[in-house]
Amino acid sequence: MFGERAAELVRGLHRAADGHLPAFNEDGIRQVLEEMKALYEQNQADVNEAKSGRSDLIRAIKFRHCSLLRNRRCVVAYLYDRLLRIRALRWEYGSVLPNDLRFHMSAEEVRCLKDHGEFEIDDGTTILLKKNSQHFLPRWKCEQLIRQGVLEHVLS
């Protein structure tokens, strides 16, 4: 009720061990989005009534609005935490993740993993690796990528 399912998404990730990617909770995300849609529609109806003079609805509108914001924060936190975990696993396993890890990812996460060869360097710099591209970076920033065979050190 009022954000409980959204909070459960975040709690589920918090309970998962570091370095572990729990299965994507598509059902939970869908339920949260349905709750948000219902809250929004109810707020729209009450706002229209409040405009016609029913000021007693203002508190309910504000409460539902706060619930909407909380649900949104929880969903974004859930998705962002998964992104960080996938990035960490990508660094650990290289460009091809094992099938048991891919099994826990949503179709969109797998698609993004295929479409983008994104790696984050320790200092926060993000580079996108495309085929036949050249990146001029210090070797010490790329050593792990070189070991994985994603980059090669070219002397010119």
Tens digit of each residue's pLDDT (9 = 90 or more) over 76-89: 999 999 988 888 88
Tens digit of each residue's pLDDT (9 = 90 or more) over 49-60: 999 988 899 999
CA–CA gap between residue 143 and residue 147 (Å, rounded): 6
pTM above 0.85, yes or no: no
Centre a 10 Å sphere on the Cβ of residue 27 and count the other Cβ atoms it contains: 9
| Confidence grade of residue 117 (pLDDT, cut at 50, 70, 90) | low
Helix (H) or strand (E) holding 118: strand 118-120
Q: Domains of the chain by range and CATH?
A: 4-115 (1.20.58.1030), 117-156 (no CATH)
Centre a 10 Å sphere on the Cβ of residue 26 and count the other Cβ atoms it contains: 10
Give Rg (Cα) of the chain.
22
Determine the average pLDDT of the residues in 50-72.
93
